Structure 1
Amino acid sequence: MTTLSDLFWQASLAEIKQGYVYDQASSEFICLTCGKRFADGIIYSWDERLYEAKRYIKIHIAESHQSPFHVLIHLDKKLTGLTDHQKSILELFYAGSSDNEAAKVLGTGSTSTIRNHRFSLREKQKQAKIFLAIMELLGEQVPKKDAFIEIPRNSKQVDDRFAITEEENEKILQAHFKQGPDGPLDSFPGKEKKRVAILRHLIKYFEPNQNYTEKEVNGILKKFYDDYVLLRRNLIDYGFMDRTQDGSSYWVKL
């Protein structure tokens, strides 16, 4: 079974269907199945021909993973909700088999049985669409007094365990920023939930879509806390910021 990365769950439906995402911060196309990266602007060679990264990642997916469909169809049942028999039928449909051809391959002896499966799968598709709409509407209609602070989209460490209400968030900030939200920070707590609330507040002092040097990051964080290196490291560790491998450039993860 393919292990799905955080990047996969953060991807849109369109990105999952194409099998890759484009990371604007690093200017790379990233395969959602294996995580391989292809830098935009670099020319890649395959079968004695040259390709730009956007075209080459499609070749990579076809050569290494067959297709996004085949990656998804072979995921565990707890992720797809599909039985092995349903997966076999869907693979035959994807290959272009008619109901009669599918019946012969599966040995059912009846095209009506395949047609019934096709109908059931279409009903499942409708149910999935309605369920997605319900969950999106539910998220939009959470009462304001119980509204949860949004978790960064690309965070690798911060997940629903750290979700807190606006009221909880305000209490944490008041307790640790006794002179006001612009600092200084009285102490950096050991409890992760409180740390994340503080980091979520600090990241607001950085502009999105802007690159910072390490010195510039330190300069902003030093206004809040003497141990600015600790804050910088935690912003990276909890996925609020990212940086180049050599540490020459930092940016907010959107």
Structure 2
Amino acid sequence: MSISEQFWESSLEELKKGYKEEPTYYICLLCSKAVEKGVIYPHQSVLYEAERYMRAHIEESHGSVFDYLIGLDKKLTGLTDHQNRLLRLFYEGKSDQEVQKETGIGSASTIRHHRFALKEKERQAKLLLTMMELLKERDEHAPAFVPVHQQAKMIDERYNFTVEEKEKVVAKYLPDGLEGKLNKFPLKEKQRLILLTEISKIFDSNKVYTEQEVKQGLKRLYEDDVLLRRYLIEYGFLDREADGSKYWVKK
């Protein structure tokens, strides 16, 4: 299961915590870092058991679960830029008067109206979530869509593909899987995205790579490693230092 699937299939309580408990470890839903149970971890001169260390990791690496979620693409959150800013200010504990002063929007009563509108959005989301859960129990014809990876930059129809579609594309262009060769990098953007989703799996999300290591890994799959690297960065699978000296899986 990819990290994106871990994230989307987690319960609301797990998402609020930012991590999930597995039989032998805890895994961060925001970046995939895993910590083994039964191990004591040092952090800032303090020793923590696994679950407490995971909470410290989230605070240090992501600020908070809220900070991480509010920073996701608007097509994932469904929030407008205006709603996003208001939620950030509300989360900081600012009063209606303080929010009004900082945003320059109407009056304090205007801000209260926005709070009410967000509350309505929450109620609608709960109803939709409940209906979708009930639908899962009856809809035998619903296709299984591949979850959008969390750092996608531009979410559009290219990301609308099913597990079956992905399997067909991978079988066609990567017939021997990641141990073999990519026989062609297709022109259709959706097919490219599907292949990039698969190719990105060769990189460890907890490792930092040199440019040469990235080149070697991609060259093993396809002759034009520069093209693959450019698209992996463009689609938000990889990130790098400005000088290209270090690369890592974008989280």
TM-score, normalization by structure 1: 0.54
Which of 87, 111, 114 aligns to 2:111? It is: 114
Are the structure 2 counterparts of residues 4 and 124 from structure 1 closer, same or farther at C-alpha, using a change threshold of 3 Å? farther
Following the alignment from structure 2 to structure 1, what is the Cα–Cα distance between the partners of residues 137 and 14? 23
Following the alignment from structure 1 to structure 2, what is the Cα–Cα distance between the partners of residues 122 and 73? 16
Following the alignment from structure 1 to structure 2, what is the Cα–Cα distance between the partners of residues 51 and 64? 16
- Are 2:5 and 1:6 aligned? yes
- Are 2:60 and 1:63 aligned? yes
Following the alignment from structure 1 to structure 2, what is the Cα–Cα distance between the partners of residues 107 and 81? 23
* CA RMSD, Structure 1 to Structure 2 (Å): 2.8
Which of 41, 45, 51 aligns to 2:42? It is: 45
Partner of 1:100: 97
Following the alignment from structure 1 to structure 2, what is the Cα–Cα distance between the partners of residues 108 and 150? 43
1:8 partner letter: F
- Are 2:131 and 1:129 aligned? no
Q: Which has the higher Rg, Structure 1 or Structure 2?
A: 1
Following the alignment from structure 1 to structure 2, what is the Cα–Cα distance between the partners of residues 52 and 137? 38
* SS class of match (1:15): helix
Are the structure 2 counterparts of residues 150 and 62 from structure 1 closer, same or farther at C-alpha, using a change threshold of 3 Å? same
Are the structure 2 counterparts of residues 150 and 55 from structure 1 closer, same or farther at C-alpha, using a change threshold of 3 Å? same
1:136 partner letter: E
Q: Displacement, 1:84?
A: 1.3
- Are 2:22 and 1:23 aligned? yes
Residue segments in structure 1 that go unaligned for 5+ positions in a row: 152-158, 164-189, 193-236, 238-254
* SS class of match (2:21): strand
Are the structure 2 counterparts of residues 149 and 79 from structure 1 closer, same or farther at C-alpha, using a change threshold of 3 Å? closer
Aligned pair count reads 153
Following the alignment from structure 1 to structure 2, what is the Cα–Cα distance between the partners of residues 39 and 191? 36
2:38 partner letter: G
Following the alignment from structure 2 to structure 1, what is the Cα–Cα distance between the partners of residues 142 and 82? 41
Q: Displacement, 1:160?
A: 4.7
Partner of 1:54: 51
- Are 2:37 and 1:35 aligned? no
Are the structure 2 counterparts of residues 148 and 83 from structure 1 closer, same or farther at C-alpha, using a change threshold of 3 Å? closer
2:112 partner letter: R
Are the structure 2 counterparts of residues 126 and 149 from structure 1 closer, same or farther at C-alpha, using a change threshold of 3 Å? closer
Partner of 2:190: none
* SS class of match (1:29): strand
Q: Displacement, 1:136?
A: 1.5
Q: Displacement, 1:147?
A: 6.3
Q: Displacement, 1:11?
A: 1.2
Which of 160, 163, 169 aligns to 1:161? It is: 163
* SS class of match (1:5): helix
Following the alignment from structure 2 to structure 1, what is the Cα–Cα distance between the partners of residues 46 and 55? 14
Q: CA offsets per residue over residues 108-138 of structure 1, 9 Å max, x none?
A: 2511111111011000001001111111222
Are the structure 2 counterparts of residues 4 and 95 from structure 1 closer, same or farther at C-alpha, using a change threshold of 3 Å? farther
Q: Displacement, 1:141?
A: 2.8
Are the structure 2 counterparts of residues 49 and 111 from structure 1 closer, same or farther at C-alpha, using a change threshold of 3 Å? same
Partner of 2:76: 79
Are the structure 2 counterparts of residues 103 and 4 from structure 1 closer, same or farther at C-alpha, using a change threshold of 3 Å? farther
TM-score, normalization by structure 2: 0.55
2:62 partner letter: H
Residue segments in structure 2 that go unaligned for 5+ positions in a row: 146-160, 170-197, 199-251
Following the alignment from structure 2 to structure 1, what is the Cα–Cα distance between the partners of residues 128 and 75? 17
Following the alignment from structure 1 to structure 2, what is the Cα–Cα distance between the partners of residues 90 and 149? 34
Following the alignment from structure 2 to structure 1, what is the Cα–Cα distance between the partners of residues 76 and 56? 26
Are the structure 2 counterparts of residues 41 and 99 from structure 1 closer, same or farther at C-alpha, using a change threshold of 3 Å? same
